[in-house]
């Protein structure tokens, strides 16, 4: 029997423990049922027995059956908890949560930008300013990659940028160490760019949605997220650039120059300007949410409407959007809802609160970040965030009651830990994309990736000490 099936069987046995405890009265039945769902989902995500988005659907279905009991089955009434059972719509709402719509809008925005050649347009206008020196060309490529990754899938960004640098890779000698710097620098920049906005990566969306849904919407917005994350992104990006140059220096006298052909279809210039206009308006509305009051998820409908109405995105384009990722994110939101409605969050928070007092809040932040970093090194960062973020909020509420800033820091720390794991090809899809091209070994990626994760932990803890 394959090892993954043995592991999954073990996770099922582990999931039965809270159910057994609930039968004997050690925990409320609703709490035991919720942790049964949680641990089964964890086993499915970790061992990939079924696709990740299928696990998300299973979570939503299980929560409806246990906590809504639509069939009014007598033996399930104990799991509904005191009072009236939650309506199925409470859990189905995760599929149309504003954060899922926010991500859908970002997919439409990214698809439109790629279709009209915004990536090439940006590269042509930015890269010349970095000259022909290899170290500055690398910096330019990483800056462009990170900038694009702020607004679109980091996987798609890495794929695009690696395709764009193929002419450069063909020019460089196979023994040239700098090739490794380029091939590793692009996915690292895509990963780091993903932390800069709520739409940059699925862990961000999960964290953003859980904060909004748990009543922290007045304390976190699109702009405030960027205010915290972009400085962290800039520091880590320059650190990654420096370490890559130290690890894989260019040969003496090497000179590089890149320029790309833009899409030359009829009317392409007008389409490009139209998409750039829509992009800038959308970003401006996201950044000024605190002024006009329109939620980021509602703003995300603007590019979706604009680009479909004017033919930039056609039916085939819409069908090719990453719907599986949206469902996967919805699963994390549903877990957060279930943990709240079942009372499992309060129970877990009290359990942690007995072990750690308010004075140990820094260590709790470090532990959540480190767990996210460790788990995401070996499995999907989305699955990791799905598991950690819903547990972070109740722990923060019990550890430092009424301290909204700590709750936000703990949730962001969990999401960032999941996003900053990039030491192996399996850690993130951008890493896997680059590794598939070939030209470097796993140890080459780990050499810099581990340092980025450690520096991220140090900066997050330092930020907590400064702004607590």
State pLDDT tens for residues 139-170. Answer: 988 998 999 888 887 887 888 888 778 777 77
Q: 54-68, 111-125, 325-339 — which is least confidently predicted?
A: 111-125
The C-alpha atoms of residue 89 and residue 33 are separated, in whole angstroms, by 19
For residues 27-33, average pLDDT: 85
**Helix or strand or coil: residue 195?**
coil
Confidence of residue 451 (pLDDT cuts 50, 70, 90): very high
What is the pLDDT, as a whole number, of residue 335? 86
Buried b (16+ CB within 10 A) or exposed e, 411-427: bbbbbbbbbbbbbbbbb
* Average pLDDT of every residue of the chain: 83
Question: Would you place residue 455 in the very low, low, confident or very high pLDDT band (cuts 50, 70, 90)?
Answer: very high
Share of the chain above pLDDT 90, in %: 13
Residue 121 binned pLDDT confidence (cut-offs 50, 70, 90): confident
Task: Tell me: pLDDT of 317 over 90.
Answer: no
**pLDDT at residue 106, as a whole number:** 86
Cα–Cα distance, 190 to 187 (Å, whole number): 5
Spatial separation of the C-alpha atoms in residues 18 and 34, rounded to whole Å: 9
Tell me the pLDDT tens digit for each residue of 53-99. 898 999 999 989 888 888 777 777 777 765 667 788 888 988 888 88
Average confidence (pLDDT) over 28-47: 86
Stretch 312-319: mean pLDDT, rounded? Answer: 89
Separation of alpha carbons 53 and 325, rounded Å: 7
On the question of pLDDT at 334 being above 80, the answer is: yes
Give yes or no for residue 287 having a pLDDT over 80: yes
pLDDT of amino acid 396: 83
Given this model, what pLDDT does residue 468 score? 64
Q: State the pLDDT confidence band at 239, using cuts at 50, 70 and 90.
A: very high
Contact 146, 193 (CB under 8 A): yes
φ, ψ dihedrals at 435, nearest 5°:
-65, -35
Q: Could you tell me how far CA 262 lies from the centroid of its own chain?
A: 30
Q: Which two tokens stand for residue 125?
A: 């206008």
Distance CA 323, CA 65 (A): 24
pTM of the model: 0.83
pLDDT of 108 over the 60 cut:
yes
In this prediction, residue 361 carries a pLDDT of 79
Is pLDDT above 80 for 401? no
pLDDT at residue 96, as a whole number: 86
Check whether 314 has a pLDDT greater than 60.
yes
Residue 190's pLDDT band, with cuts at 50, 70 and 90, is very high
Q: What does the pLDDT average to over 218-228?
A: 85
96 burial level (CB within 10 Å; 0-12, 13-18, 19+): exposed
Residues 45 and 112: their CA atoms lie apart, in Å, by: 31
Length of the chain counted residue by residue:
468
Residue 25 clears pLDDT 80, i.e. is over it: no
Is 193's pLDDT higher than 60? yes
């Amino acid at each position: 029997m394959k090892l993954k099936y043995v592991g999954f069987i073990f996770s099922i046995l582990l999931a039965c423990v809270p159910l057994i405890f609930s039968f004997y009265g050690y925990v409320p039945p609703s709490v035991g049922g919720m942790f049964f769902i949680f641990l089964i989902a964890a086993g499915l995500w970790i061992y990939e027995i079924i696709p990740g988005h299928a696990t998300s659907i299973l979570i939503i279905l299980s929560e409806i059956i246990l906590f809504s009991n639509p069939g009014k089955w007598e033996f399930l009434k104990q799991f509904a908890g005191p009072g009236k059972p939650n309506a199925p719509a409470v859990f189905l709402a995760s599929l149309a949560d504003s954060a899922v719509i926010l991500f859908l809008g970002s997919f439409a925005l990214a698809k439109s930008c790629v279709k009209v050649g915004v990536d090439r347009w940006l590269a042509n206008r930015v890269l010349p300013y970095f000259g022909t020196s290899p170290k500055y060309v690398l910096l330019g490529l990483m800056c462009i990659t990170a900038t694009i990754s702020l607004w679109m899938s980091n996987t798609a960004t890495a794929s695009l940028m690696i395709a764009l640098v193929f002419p450069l890779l063909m020019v460089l000698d196979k023994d040239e160490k700098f090739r490794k710097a380029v091939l590793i620098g692009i996915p690292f920049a895509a990963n780091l760019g993903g932390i800069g906005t709520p739409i940059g990566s699925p862990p961000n969306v999960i964290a953003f949605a859980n904060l909004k849904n748990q009543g922290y919407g007045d304390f976190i917005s699109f702009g405030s997220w960027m205010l915290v994350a972009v400085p962290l992104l800039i520091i880590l990006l320059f650190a990654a650039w420096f370490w890559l140059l130290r690890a894989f220096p260019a040969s003496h006298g090497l000179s590089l120059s890149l320029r790309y052909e833009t899409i030359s279809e009829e009317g392409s210039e007008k389409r490009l300007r139209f998409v750039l206009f829509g992009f800038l308006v959308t970003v401006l509305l996201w950044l000024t949410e605190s002024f006009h009051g329109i939620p980021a998820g509602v703003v995300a409908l603007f590019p979706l409407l604009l680009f479909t109405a004017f033919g930039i995105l056609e039916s085939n384009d819409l069908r090719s959007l990453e719907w599986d990722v949206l469902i996967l994110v919805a699963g994390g939101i549903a877990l957060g809802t279930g943990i709240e409605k079942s009372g499992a969050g309060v129970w877990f928070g009290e359990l942690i609160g007995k072990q750690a007092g308010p004075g140990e809040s820094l260590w709790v932040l470090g532990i959540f970040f480190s767990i996210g970093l460790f788990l995401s090194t070996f499995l999907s960062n989305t699955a990791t965030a799905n598991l950690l973020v819903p547990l972070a909020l109740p722990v923060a509420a019990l550890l430092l009651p009424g301290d909204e800033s700590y709750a936000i820091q703990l949730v962001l720390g969990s999401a960032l830990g999941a996003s900053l794991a990039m030491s192996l090809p399996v850690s993130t899809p951008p890493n896997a994309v680059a590794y598939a091209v070939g030209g470097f070994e796993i140890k080459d990626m780990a050499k810099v990736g581990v340092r980025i994760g450690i520096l991220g932990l140090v900066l997050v803890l330092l930020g907590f000490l400064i702004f607590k």
